[in-house]
A and B are shown apart, each in its own frame.
Chain A
Amino acid sequence: MANRTQPIRPIHFIAGGGAFALLLVLTIGTVIAVWTHAEIGSGLSSSDWSAVRFTLSQAFVSASVSIVLAIPVARALARRKFRGRALMVSFLGAPFILPAIVAVLGIVAVWGRSGWVSQAIAPFGFSPLNIYGYFGVVFAHVFFNLPLATRLLLQGWLSIPAEHFRLCAQLDMSPSEIGKHLERPMLWSVLPGAFLLVFLLCISSFAVVLALGGGPRATTVELAIYQALRFDFDLSKAALLAVVQFGLCTSVALACIFIAKPTNFAFGLDRPPERWDGKGTFHIICDSISLILLTLFLFLPLLALFIRGLIPIAHLPIKIYAAALNSVVIAVGSAMLTIVMSLALAALIIRIARRRKRISQIVEGLGFLTLAASPFVIGTGLFIIINPYISPFAVALPVTALINAAMSLPFALRIILPAMTRAEDHYGTLGDSLGMERWTRFRIAIWPRLKRPIGFAAGLSAALSMGDLGVIALFAPPDIETLPLMMYRLMAAYQLKMASGVALLLISLSLILFWLFDRGGQLEHHTR
């Protein structure tokens, strides 16, 4: 490594180490807490092992399909300019941030037995679609994760300096040659990480699998953990299953990190890329088809949810404002925590990487740990840790914000780390050679390159936190409600129509938050 001028300062150790320690407490610490609290113990049964097999298989298939489909879509978005593109890119976050049950109802409304598609094809003598079972699980996971994968890959495309594309155009390269020299190396650096993220997300899936899985054949490890915690109150088994889940995720994470090849693009002048390639009819048709299919696949269920919630949203009780405020406060707080933690971790990882590549990879891998963790185990473990000292109710909102932040940290890290690495390698070096002071260096050399990914990460984290139910359900005091909690309570009291109004409000607020952050990151930056 050429760059030795950047030392690891104490601040990097304290901030990065602090974030890292917090992660370890939330993930491994909570498993230990649950384990030591256990009284009875039983090993894993054969049905637990079939849950492990199903979990792995569906996660592998879901992640592969999502990633493979995301490649043409991201390429189309990267090289086409059209009206509504910005809006489309923003909306890509939408399915991913939907609470699982809302998304499932949206999918069912379009693709279900009595959904729009089944009704449309019925006059032609087709029997209704059946999306339940293994296919349904994969279908729903692709619905959730294809947009995320597309965004991640798009981020990769945008990281290729505009100058490279200009050079390719000057050399009169064909799209396939551009693919070979620019896009394929970029994909090799981005794909493993994106695959890993989607894979891990599908591993801890719970509500989706239960609603569309068609029966106990579709049992995930997460459901087995839920059963152990809530149904059997077998804490040692829950801890054991959590360890199994860690083990699975860790091995896949390590594999992905070692497969990923860092890119070696020269640095450009940060101009927006102008694309001269892909002007042929064939490419235009391919790109159009990808984008139209994506739109139909993703936005129809959203449209269904919108239509359904439109009338009830006008008749929501006053209490909804308090719940909405709580949700927004938690979301913004956890987005802020996520960004601070991921910046601290990323800075530490980059500085360790200069000296010990392997160690930095392990730290990076552990940054994914919360994805492998079961929210049920984290919640229960934290409850056990906190309860002797302070009433968990009293700290409901901060704890929820903290856990949500930890849960979205892997995404933020995935988004911010590559950007920071590039900024450090290219512009940081330049800043050093110009003898810039620490703060000036960050402001001029690093920050402008981080703004866009930070905005995206903060938006994602805020929106994820909005839709999260898991943790608040365990900690929520009687007088504090969040939107997802309220939605579930309404559904449990036969108030399905009103629940769909709350769902629409939840989606709208999530999208607005996401859009504000994402947009904020893309505003023009004046470096002069």
Chain B
Amino acid sequence: MKIFQLFAAGLCVALPISAYAQDKPELTIYTYDSFVSDWGPGPAVEKAFEETCECDLKLVAAGDGAALLSRVLLEGERTDADIVLGLDTNITARATETGLFAPYGKAPSYLDVPIPWEDKIFLPYDWGYFAFVYDNTKLSDVPDSFEALIAAPDDLKIVIQDPRSSTPGLGLLLWVKTAYGDRAPEIWEKLEPKILTVTKGWSEAYGMFTEGEADMVLSYTTSPAYHIIAEDDHTKSAASFKEGHYMQIEVAGKLASSDQQELADDFLKFMTSPKFQDIIPTTNWMYPAVFPYSGLPAGFETLITPTESLIVDPIEAEKTRDAALAEWLTALSQ
């Protein structure tokens, strides 16, 4: 019977869940896992904002990309979230359409995002380029375009992410579509023999790449910066593609249902200030929306700069998405 006593004890520990009282106003932000983790920007951002706001900032990991939006849709107007941070321009049109988000006011004039910023609802906090990352000690003949990748030897294998479950995966879908238009299905069909596998998310793909399973992995041009700065490992590089590189701009928006409208506005202002922005490069490993006065951290200067930035505007992305996905499915299912 000892086993049952153990069970009972276990359950008693599990039941009383943190129900703490709070006098300070609380600002709840829904974001993605890697943002809130100890190695992400979360802890530093929380500390910096709480120093100025007389409030309690709560960062909740609620999925990434489309899943984050679905979570807010699921909760509807009852949601606890005041701000959603971590959508990108590929789904902001859909997010705007839901009517759940409210305008943030005036865009700061000093944004370092490579495109003019016109969105009144979502404000960018960082951005980056998608790219194929490789090990420069193993791969010597680095493809410099999708065509070159297709023409590469048969044993060169890439790992990509599924556009249905991952933000980079969706980015690649739009990258090929933007660069090749009607030729996109043909590119995918020819690319198929090079694709070792398609993973659910970025982590699995990147894990397989670092294990040496694949020669290249879909990631960001800024990924090598992590290895250089955090690990002093100079073996990872991003391949520069002649077609240009598709951009991801990550944004945050305030919910209309929030009971902390002013505080939410304060946070969005804080988000484009140096206190937030300076944290981004070496925690989220992306380009900040506003570059630090002192310049980007050492190591970032070694990264490739795409000759052309590709991006479709949110409304166009929303229109192309389903058709591009259908093409992708057909091309890779043959």
Q: Which residues of A contact B (CB under 8 A)?
A: 37, 47, 50, 101, 104-105, 108-109, 112-114, 127, 132, 136, 206-207, 210-217, 223, 226-227, 229-233, 317, 319, 325, 328-330, 332-333, 335-336, 380, 383-384, 387-388, 391, 393-398, 401, 458, 473, 476-480, 488-496, 499, 517, 520
Contact = CB atoms under 8 A, between A and B. Distances in A.
A496 B18 CA distance: 30
Interface stretch (B58-66, B112-120, B254-262, B273-281): B58-66
Nearest to A458: B3
Given A332-B6, A401-B14, A229 B60 contact: no
B199 A210 contact: yes
Contacts of A213: 197-198
A332 B9 CA distance: 9
Given A114-B213, A211-B200, A231-B165, A494 B329 contact: no
13 contacts: A112-B208, A112-B213, A210-B162, A215-B333, A216-B329, A229-B70, A230-B165, A233-B74, A336-B7, A387-B78, A478-B36, A494-B39, A495-B39
Contacts of B332: 215-217
Nearest first, the 9 closest Cβ-Cβ pairs linking A and B are A336-B7, A492-B34, A332-B10, A491-B203, A114-B212, A230-B67, A493-B39, A489-B37, A210-B200
Contact of A397 (B14, B73, B195, B208): B14
Nearest to B98: A233
A101 B213 contact: no
Contact of A335 (B7, B74, B210): B7
A136 B203 CA distance: 19
Contact of A489 (B34, B63, B197): B34
B106 to A, nearest CB: 30
A87 B97 CA distance: 58
A141 to B, nearest CB: 16
A520 B69 contact: no
B4 A336 contact: yes
B11 interface: yes
Interface string B316-333: 000000000010110011
Contact of B203 (A333, A383, A488): A488
Interface in B139-168: 155, 157, 162, 164-165
A104 B204 contact: yes
B313 interface: no
Contacts of A380: 74
Interface of A, secondary structure class, is helix
Contact of B165 (A212, A226, A394): A226
Contacts of B19: 394
B301 interface: no
Nearest to B15: A398
A384 B75 CA distance: 8
Contacts of B10: 328-329, 332-333, 336
Nearest to B69: A233
Nearest to B31: A478
Contacts of B78: 387-388
A229 B71 CA distance: 9
A333 B11 contact: yes
B206 interface: yes
Contacts of A50: 333
Interface string B15-50: 101110000000000001110111110000000000
A230 B63 contact: yes
Given A231-B165, A476-B61, A494 B328 contact: no
Contacts of B129: none
Contacts of A112: 208, 211, 213
Interface residues of B, number: 67
B13 interface: yes
A520 B66 CA distance: 46
B20 to A, nearest CB: 10
A478 B198 CA distance: 30
A479 B18 contact: yes
A333 B198 contact: no
Nearest to B79: A387
A217 B213 CA distance: 20
Contacts of A384: 74
Contact of A217 (B40, B202, B212, B333): B333
Contact of B195 (A214, A395, A398): A214
Contacts of A232: 66
Given A114-B212, A233-B74, A492-B34, 9 more contacts: A223-B165, A226-B165, A329-B10, A398-B15, A489-B36, A489-B61, A492-B203, A493-B39, A496-B210
A233 B63 CA distance: 13
Given A207-B200, A458-B3, A227 B165 contact: yes
A373 B31 CA distance: 28
Contacts of B230: 494
Contacts of A401: 11, 14
Nearest to B46: A478
Contact of A478 (B32, B59, B226): B59
B329 A493 contact: no
B165 A113 contact: no
A231 B78 CA distance: 21
Nearest to B20: A479
B194 to A, nearest CB: 11
Interface in B167-223: 192, 195-204, 206-208, 210-214
A325 B61 CA distance: 20
A317 B38 CA distance: 10
Contacts of A223: 162, 164-165
A482 to B, nearest CB: 12
A127 B154 CA distance: 12
B33 A488 contact: yes
Given A216-B333, A490-B39, A494-B230, A113 B196 contact: yes
Contact of A210 (B36, B59, B165, B206): B165
Given A108-B208, A215-B195, A478-B61, A517 B157 contact: no
A161 to B, nearest CB: 27
Contacts of B265: none
Nearest to B41: A493
B291 interface: no
B285 interface: yes
B110 to A, nearest CB: 29
Nearest to B170: A231
Interface centre among A104, A114, A231, A232 (most CB of B within 10 A): A231
Contacts of B164: 223, 226-227, 231
Contacts of A493: 34, 37-40
Contacts of B69: 233
A479 B200 CA distance: 26
Contacts of B59: 478
A233 B71 CA distance: 9
